[in-house]
């Protein structure tokens, strides 16, 4: 990100942590429910669901977004669980995109419900969309996610392309012996389509059915992709995340690598996370958080809620403590935090 002041995005940001990072990006998980059970995200057996009353209402989330904006938040991503399973999500997206101060509102989805909703999501003002897709093979997709939904997701991606979402990012968690034989296919997908393929390193978070032994780190993925063609670096725009971006020579799209483990990007992390049950987290990879819900529901003032934002920001660790040996894990589940 460089010096945020150069690009104007740090101006007015009160959320500056001890490392002088300007936290202007809020990722909001609107539900812990998901219509898939991905191997690397969900444990064996039943997962306890948050009681309905524990989940923040859209009005409560919007109030927190406005408080965040007053402190300098300029970018919001809606995630989950699976955001598209929550009733009313499209109206909620429209309310977010109407907020003048937000420079960017985006959505992360598994794409299962995208095809029938894509036009309404676009009409709600969303342009940037991330779709998680870990296999291009329907059988393997069902093995990874627990559901035979590849066709629905692919149709959703095609629909998003027709409608004009830009960019369409495809998130791939590459795992050894599971989908690593498709790394090149995903790379090739960027040749003839304007997709931004994002390879995300598996992170040991909560209980799942994969382990760090299955993890493939970026240097290996990148070396494999480089066998297809020359990888030309693409520079990041100010609304871009931590991905290191490249374009295969002659490609319409891009490939990018999100390397939480092999290459810490903590030094320029600008993110805060709001969980579906109203916890504010300063780091995906630390269970440290502050609850906002009780204060929100017991008549807390905007000033008091803002103070919690400031406190969480001051407690943001300089660096996360996960290492590739997988020894340190985060106890909370990813579907509750939102990725």
* Interface with ligand SAM (CB under 6 A): 34, 40-41, 79-80, 82, 108-110, 132, 171, 173, 200, 202-203, 205, 208, 334-335, 338-339
DSSP 165-176: -SSEEEEEE-BT
Residue 149 CA: distances (Å) to CA of 106, 110, 112, 113, 202: 23, 10, 7, 10, 22
For the CB of residue 57, give the shortest distance to ligand SAM in the complex, in Å. Answer: 20
DSSP 241-275: -S-EEEEETT-SSEEEEE-TTTS--GGG--EEEE-
Closest to ligand SAM by CB, 41 vs 178, is: 41
For the CB of residue 192, give the shortest distance to ligand SAM in the complex, in Å. Answer: 23
| Contact partners, residue 268, CB within 8 Å, separation at least 6 | 1, 2, 21, 242
CB 219 within 8 A of CB 260: no
In the bound state, the residue with its beta carbon closest to ligand SAM is 339
Closest to ligand SAM by CB, 110 vs 270, is: 110
Count how many Cα atoms sit within 13 Å of the Cα of residue 271 in the half-sphere of its side chain: 25
For the CB of residue 276, give the shortest distance to ligand SAM in the complex, in Å. Answer: 11
For the CB of residue 7, give the shortest distance to ligand SAM in the complex, in Å. Answer: 26
For the CB of residue 200, give the shortest distance to ligand SAM in the complex, in Å. Answer: 5
For the CB of residue 188, give the shortest distance to ligand SAM in the complex, in Å. Answer: 20
Nearest Cα neighbor of 38 from 114, 135, 129 is 135
Closest to ligand SAM by CB, 95 vs 106, is: 106
What are the two backbone dihedrals, phi and then psi, of residue 249, each rounded to the nearest 5 degrees? Answer: -50, 125
Q: What is the Cα 305 distance to its own chain's centre?
A: 24
- How far apart CA 73 and CA 58 sit, in angstroms, is 18
Closest to ligand SAM by CB, 200 vs 274, is: 200
Closest to ligand SAM by CB, 66 vs 140, is: 140
Partnered with residue 109 across adjacent β-strands are: 131
Closest to ligand SAM by CB, 16 vs 40, is: 40
């Amino acid at each position: 990100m460089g010096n945020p002041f150069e690009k104007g995005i740090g101006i007015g940001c009160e959320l500056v942590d001890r490392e002088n990072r300007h936290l202007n990006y809020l990722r909001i998980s609107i539900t812990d429910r998901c219509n898939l059970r991905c191997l690397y995200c969900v444990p064996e057996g039943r997962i306890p669901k948050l009681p309905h009353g524990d989940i923040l209402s859209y009005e409560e989330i919007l109030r927190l977004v406005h408080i965040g904006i007053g402190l300098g938040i300029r970018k919001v991503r809606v995630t989950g669980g699976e955001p598209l399973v929550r009733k009313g999500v499209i109206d909620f997206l429209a309310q977010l995109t109407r907020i003048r101060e937000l420079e960017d509102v985006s959505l992360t989805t598994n794409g299962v419900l995208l095809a029938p909703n894509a036009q309404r999501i676009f009409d709600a003002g969303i342009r940037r969309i991330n779709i998680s897709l870990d296999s291009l093979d329907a059988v393997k997709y069902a093995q990874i996610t627990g559901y035979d939904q590849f066709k629905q997701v692919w149709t959703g991606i095609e629909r998003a392309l027709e409608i004009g979402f830009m960019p369409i990012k495809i998130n791939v968690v590459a795992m050894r012996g599971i989908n690593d034989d498709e790394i090149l296919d995903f790379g090739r997908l960027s040749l003839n389509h304007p997709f931004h393929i994002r390879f995300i390193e598996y992170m040991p978070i909560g209980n799942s059915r994969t382990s760090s032994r299955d993890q493939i780190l970026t240097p290996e993925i990148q070396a494999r992709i480089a066998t297809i063609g020359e990888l030309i670096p693409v520079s990041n725009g100010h609304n871009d995340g931590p991905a290191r971006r490249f374009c295969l020579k002659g490609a319409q799209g891009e490939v990018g690598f999100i390397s939480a483990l092999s290459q810490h990007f903590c030094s320029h992390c600008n993110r805060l996370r709001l969980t579906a049950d109203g916890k504010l987290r300063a780091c995906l990879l630390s269970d440290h958080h502050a609850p906002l819900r009780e204060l929100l529901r017991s008549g807390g003032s905007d000033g008091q809620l803002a103070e919690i934002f400031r406190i969480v920001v001051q407690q943001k660790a300089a660096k996360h403590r996960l290492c590739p040996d997988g020894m340190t894990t985060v106890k909370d589940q990813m579907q509750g935090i939102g990725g």
